[in-house]
């Protein structure tokens, strides 16, 4: 090995290629340091050696800094970073510059809202003479405005661009384990800012607080909200006024876009016709009177006086026209004393009587009120049991008021026939009855849901209406309840919610319609009128279940049908099939909450009702007026409006909300009135009758 100079050693030289070792890893020379090394191949050997005749070497110089030790000075680092930057391609440098600029713009855009948010939470004031800082309670937007913020339409493409953060209903007191719940996060907008984007078509409008504060005990005292060691308290809300606001908003849409028509289509700002008899208007008459909405009532009364005529060549459904129109007119007559409504009721009742002209005296489902003819549906000669056994309260009351016995005689005969029929199971009735033979059909199918529900309700209510004299009605009711307990009553898993299923030829199905939620209220009403106390206990259990049908949904609104899990180890109590996720603004749960609160005075029933009302406002309220049924209660981002406001939303749902929040036990006392299945109150007959 030849030494060229101090610290530089030739290891091998071959074909003008010189391999050297600086001694850093040579044997015996580890950790050596060399201030300068040079080796050349271009024109010859370095030092005293003679150059060759041709250029055949390359010069490489390794120069240390100072003494040769590593130098980490700032100047050296800046030079190193600059060299790295210059080595990047133009595309890479442009991408980095664009990213930095974008981050700066985002920071500038979000800075004001962030600072304002924390200012609102942490503003403090110094007390006079005291160095301690204390939080200042700001005047906050009324609770109704915050809960019912208006939302603007959003296209599906815009919805897909942002992350799908689903929001659950605000403040739900769901004490049970929830399955797959999503974030409750929702961004608050400052006053004057544009409304938030939510779902595609339906737009939620805010309900303004009127400030009447009629009943202090019925106000919402919003709990304090803790935030960074401070707290603030939102103002109280008059729940009765909130219901009035909801009615005014619904009436605004009906008046502007569907006046005198059967139903409002709030999304398309149009209307739908069923019978062509102003169904929504008549259904809402007594609600307006009860809510003391005098202006709206007078508008509707004028239409009834000048426009309503039953002399039309139109088919109407016997059951629906009886409970909604006949019941609404009779109820309004009793509340107002105005004979206009009784005269209209008598006219309609007379035109419905041809339905009873059947071989069996079981009425047809459809009547032409102009021609005076009746017929079954086109596809069958059957009527549903609920239809023919849930018209009795109205026709019986019409007979009492007019002293014309034929109305009551017709409906009483139906009940007497059903009382004696074969085909029941422990008091439970099948869903269909043939108008020719007068016999049950579709034997072995039993439910308290659609097509049978109000049969059981009217057994009890006819008994109450008639002064508790008709023992056959009471016997059928009590026997049916025993049949429910024996055949249909089960508990879910994992939280053991009590529910009412269905029976099909001996096979149990854990399917429960929202319609079944009439049962807690009916049970409580029976207990109030002297029936066994365990009816009230069952009512409370079922009331909890009906509330959970709302609370466990992402929108806080119940689907039309649920299926309960019964297998041990189930994650959640409730399953909802895709076809059953719609909500039609139904009243049954609110109805039962009213009965349970009226009889128990337990405030949790009011609180549950308040949650439901807020969620109706949040997900079904349309900004231009009205409320819409929705297709999907499990998608709070896009519940998918159906563009239809059923007449029972004004006739029943809002009425029961108002009665639930009222502290006046004499407002339609349940010792003086009995409600038909469309929430129209009719008087309980004097005992002497």
pLDDT at 105 (0 to 100): 83
Task: Tell me the angle at which helices 588-600 and 519-528 cross, rounded to the nearest 10 degrees.
Answer: 30
Task: Give how far the C-alpha of residue 326 lies from the chain's centroid of Cα atoms, to the nearest Å.
Answer: 31
DSSP 338-401: -HHHHHHHHHHHHHHGGGG-SSSSPPPSEEETTTTEEE--TT-SEEEHHHHHSSHHHHHHHHHH
At residue 90 the predicted structure's pLDDT band, cuts being 50, 70 and 90, is confident
Burial of 577 (0-12, 13-18, 19+ CB in 10 A): exposed
Beta bridge partners of 9: 3, 21
Provide the 3-class DSSP secondary structure of residue 128.
coil
Question: What pLDDT does 689 receive?
Answer: 47
pLDDT value of residue 74? 52
Asked whether 650 and 663 are in contact (CB, 8 A), the reply is no
DSSP codes of every residue in 314-338? -EEEHHHHIIIIIHHHHHHHHHH--
The answer to whether residue 225 scores a pLDDT higher than 50 is no
Q: Where are the alpha helices (DSSP H) in 488-622?
A: 519-528, 534-551, 588-600, 603-619
Q: How confident is the model at residue 276 (pLDDT cuts 50, 70, 90)?
A: very high
C-alpha pair distances (Å), 364 with each of 378, 441, 445, 569: 11, 15, 21, 48
Q: Residue 333: is its pLDDT beyond 60?
A: yes
Residue 233, pLDDT > 60, answer no
Question: Above 60 in pLDDT, residue 137?
Answer: no
pLDDT at 78: 56
CA nearest neighbour of 315 among 372, 270, 362, 388: 372
Instruction: State what percent of residues in the chain have pLDDT above 70.
Output: 70
The half-sphere exposure of 189 on its side-chain side, counting CA atoms within 13 A, is 13
Q: What whole-number percentage of the chain has pLDDT above 90?
A: 64
* Per-residue model confidence (pLDDT) at position 188: 36
pLDDT classification of 95: cutoffs 50, 70, 90? confident
Would the pLDDT of 1 be above 50?
Answer: no
The overall average pLDDT reported for the chain is 80
pLDDT surpasses 80 at 31: no
Q: What is the mean pLDDT of residues 654-665?
A: 97
Please state whether beta strands 196-197 and 151-152 pair in parallel, antiparallel, or not at all (unpaired).
parallel
Q: How far apart, in whole angstroms, are the C-alpha atoms of residue 671 and residue 529?
A: 8
Residue-wise pLDDT tens digits, 404-438: 999 999 999 999 999 999 999 999 999 999 999 99
How deeply is 208 buried, as exposed, middle or buried, from its count of CB atoms within 10 A (0-12, 13-18, 19+)?
middle
State residue 661's pLDDT score: 98
pTM of the model: 0.70
pLDDT in tens, 50-69: 444 444 444 444 444 444 44
Pairwise CA distance, residues 608 & 591, whole Å:
12
pLDDT at 250 (0 to 100): 98
DSSP conformation letters of 438-483? --EESTTEE-SSTTTHHHHHHHHHHHHHTTS--HHHHHHHHHHHHH
pLDDT confidence tier of residue 387, bands split at 50, 70 and 90:
very high
What is the DSSP secondary structure assignment for residue 668, as one 8-state letter?
T
Q: Are strands 225-227 and 230-232 parallel, antiparallel or unpaired?
A: antiparallel
According to the model, what pLDDT value does residue 73 have? 52
Q: Judge whether residue 369 has pLDDT over 50.
A: yes
More confident position, 548 or 116: 548
152 sits in which H/E element:
strand 151-152
- The least confident of 19-28, 86-95, 558-567, 662-671 is 19-28
- The answer to whether 169 and 186 have CB atoms below 8 angstroms apart is no
pLDDT at 427: 97
Query: Taking 50 as the threshold, does the pLDDT of residue 514 lie above it?
Result: yes
pLDDT at 98 over 80: yes
Query: Residue 190, class by beta-carbon neighbours within 10 Å (0-12 exposed, 13-18 middle, 19+ buried)?
Result: exposed
Mean pLDDT, residues 271-295: 98
Selection from 185, 148, 187, 143 nearest residue 166 by Cα: 185
Percent of the chain that is helix, strand, coil (3-state, to 5): 40, 15, 45
Residues catalogued as catalytic: 320, 453, 560, 588
Question: Whole-angstrom Cα distance, residue 241 to residue 213?
Answer: 8
- Give the pLDDT confidence score for residue 236 in this predicted structure: 55
């Amino acid at each position: 090995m030849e030494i060229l100079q101090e610290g530089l050693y030739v290891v091998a030289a071959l074909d003008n290629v010189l391999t050297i070792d600086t001694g850093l890893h040579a044997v015996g020379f580890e950790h050596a340091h060399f201030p300068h090394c040079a080796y050349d191949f271009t024109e010859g050997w370095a030092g005293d050696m003679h150059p060759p005749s041709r250029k055949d070497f390359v010069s490489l110089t390794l120069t240390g800094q100072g003494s040769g030790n590593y130098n980490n000075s700032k100047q050296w680092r800046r030079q190193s970073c600059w060299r790295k930057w210059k080595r990047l391609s133009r595309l890479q440098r442009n991408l980095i510059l664009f990213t930095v600029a974008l981050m700066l713009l985002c920071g500038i855009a979000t800075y004001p809202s962030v600072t304002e948010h924390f200012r609102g939470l942490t503003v403090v004031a110094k007390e006079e003479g005291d160095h301690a800082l204390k939080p200042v309670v700001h005047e906050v937007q009324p609770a109704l405005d915050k809960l019912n913020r208006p939302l603007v339409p959003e296209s599906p493409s815009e919805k897909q661009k942002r992350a799908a953060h689903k929001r659950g209903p605000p403040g739900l007191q769901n004490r049970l384990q929830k399955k797959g719940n999503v974030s409750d996060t929702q961004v608050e907008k400052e006053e004057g800012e544009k409304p938030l984007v939510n779902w595609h078509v339906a737009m939620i409008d805010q309900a303004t607080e009127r400030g009447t504060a009629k009943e202090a005990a019925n106000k919402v005292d919003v709990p304090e909200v803790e935030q960074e060691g401070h707290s603030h308290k939102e103002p109280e809300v008059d729940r009765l006024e909130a219901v009035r606001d909801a009615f005014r908003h619904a009436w605004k849409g009906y008046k502007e876009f569907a006046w005198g028509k059967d139903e409002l289509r709030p999304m398309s700002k149009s209307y739908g016709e069923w019978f062509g008899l102003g169904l929504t208007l008549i259904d809402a008459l007594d609600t307006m009177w009860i809510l003391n909405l005098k202006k709206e009532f007078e508008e509707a009364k004028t239409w009834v006086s000048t426009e309503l005529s039953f002399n039309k060549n139109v088919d109407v459904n016997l059951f629906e026209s009886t409970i909604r129109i006949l019941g609404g007119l009779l109820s309004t007559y009793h509340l107002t004393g105005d004979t206009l409504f009784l005269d209209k009721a008598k006219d309609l009742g007379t035109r419905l009587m041809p339905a009873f002209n059947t071989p069996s005296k079981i009425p047809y489902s459809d009547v032409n009120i102009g021609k005076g003819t009746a017929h079954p549906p086109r596809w069958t000669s059957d009527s549903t049991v609920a239809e023919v056994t849930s018209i009795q309260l109205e026709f019986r009351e019409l007979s009492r008021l007019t002293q014309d016995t034929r109305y009551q005689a017709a409906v009483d005969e139906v009940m007497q026939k059903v009382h004696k029929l074969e085909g029941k199971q422990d008091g439970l009735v099948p869903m269909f009855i043939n108008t020719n033979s007068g016999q049950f059909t579709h034997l072995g199918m039993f439910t308290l849901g659609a097509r049978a529900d109000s049969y059981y309700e009217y057994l009890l209510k006819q008994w109450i209406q008639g002064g508790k004299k008709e023992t056959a009605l009471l016997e059928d009711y009590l026997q049916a309840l025993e049949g429910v307990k024996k055949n249909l009553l089960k508990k879910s898993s994992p939280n053991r919610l009590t529910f009412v299923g269905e029976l099909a030829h001996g096979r149990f199905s854990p399917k429960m319609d929202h319609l079944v939620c009439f049962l807690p209220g009916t049970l409580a009403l029976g207990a109030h009128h002297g029936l066994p106390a365990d009816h009230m206990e069952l009512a409370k259990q079922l009331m909890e279940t009906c509330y959970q049908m709302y609370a466990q949904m992402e929108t806080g609104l119940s689907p039309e049908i649920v299926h309960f899990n019964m297998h041990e180890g189930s994650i959640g109590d409730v399953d909802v099939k895709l076809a059953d996720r719609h909500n039609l603004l139904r009243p049954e749960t609110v109805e039962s909450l009213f009965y349970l609160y009226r009889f128990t005075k337990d405030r949790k029933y009011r609180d549950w009702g308040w949650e439901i009302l807020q969620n109706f406002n949040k997900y079904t309220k349309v900004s231009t007026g009205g409320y819409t049924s929705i297709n999907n209660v499990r998608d709070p981002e896009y519940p998918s409006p159906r563009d239809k406001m059923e007449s029972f939303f004004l006739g029943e749902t809002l009425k029961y909300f108002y009665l639930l929040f009222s502290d006046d036990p004499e407002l339609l006392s349940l010792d003086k009135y009995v409600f038909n299945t469309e929430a129209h109150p009719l008087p309980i007959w004097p005992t002497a009758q």
